[in-house]
Amino acid sequence: MIYLFIKILHIFSVFIYGGFLFTDNLILMKMQKTLSKEKYDEVRAYFKEFTRVLVPKALVVAVITGVLLFHNSFGSVSEDGLSNFQIVLSIKAILGLWLGLRGILQVFFGIQPFFFKSHKLPFILVIIIIFLSQIMFNI
């Protein structure tokens, strides 16, 4: 029952973070092309104001619950080495931890990333993580 609760909490927090990245990369970028600079800056400021409250907390919850799910799902390593499932799960975990570390350092400590300052790379990584989560049980 606790595992199910953690998994649902993880899914909701990932939806919040992924939805933020989706909106930022696809919707707001399209609005930038159609709105005046002043109007776009106003819309962007509203978006930033509303997301700043929820998205960082959702990212922290996603990372913590992801670590718990990883610990529960990874299993033991056989004599033959890592299974395909364990390899894909490890790749997902590394990408998720990188996203979490980047977000936590940026939001809570004010440390700006040296490169990849836009949300395009995190958006692409979230898509890759979602794709990996769908195939890891089938390989």
Supply the pLDDT for residue 115. Answer: 64
Q: Phi and psi (nearest 5°) for 81?
A: 105, -165
Which pTM value belongs to this model? 0.84
Average pLDDT of the residues in 33-58: 90
Does pLDDT of 66 surpass 90? yes
Supply the pLDDT for residue 126. Answer: 93
What spatial distance separates the first Cα and last Cα of the chain, rounded to whole Å? 27
Q: Phi and psi (nearest 5°) for 101?
A: -65, -45
Instruction: Please write the tens of the pLDDT for every residue from 77-126.
Output: 888 889 999 999 999 999 999 998 888 888 788 887 766 667 888 899 99
* Amino acid identity, position 87: I
